Structure 1
């Protein structure tokens, strides 16, 4: 049943994602991946939608709006945040402890998350293409997978942050 639904929706999803991608500033493959994930979640929770084609069009538009909102609200730094040239030893020790705690939490994540986040945190400053090649996954799936991994990391660190 699910494979029939996926096969029936694939051409429509490709067309809809391609049409919405440019206006949202996202890659069409990222939109497709996000909608496939939403469909799987929907199938798990509620079963197949009554009108799959209508549901899919709505889901693509919703993901495109979400992507536009994120791009509008999140701004990259114009420059790297300033690092004090001479930090106090106490600050250096606290910073090192935070980095260790982060690395330990990343190692406790499930699945491919530890490898993905280690690649993203790498001082080599790898591109998505290099990370995808290193991990053996498609470049289009890195964004959604990164989001899932960061969500897991947030949930994992929430009790530790709250305790402080």
Structure 2
């Protein structure tokens, strides 16, 4: 058989079975907990694979009913094996891996900038960023300075840190470009 004749035969088979495939898929879809269109599409794929290999089925109506039921059983088996997640971590913007990586990178950049500040600023800012949530009295005792001088020193150090970070953000490195 020539290629144009095979295409004509395939087209005739598909045209003749369209209503039957649609009706059978609609009838079986609800029991299989699958969309009728998805079931119908799976049957069409099966039919086209068969047309490429063995040619059209001898009893096309019987073949369609059998194929629809087989695809419905496959969908039910798949649905039984799949268990839905109770909580989708990607839906919660605070706990995805991308967010965790970005938070970690920001923390690293902040710690690196704190380490580059002048004088006693690295010690002061590190104490202020401590997860122990130290009080001003505890920070002043740790640094060996008076509690009254802690505020002005904190202000100077944060100003210095702000200027450093603003300069870094305003002038990013030329990644992958010639200088």
Q: TM-score of the superposition, structure 1-length normalised?
A: 0.49
> Bigger relative contact order, structure 1 or 2, given CA contacts below 8 A and separation 6+?
1
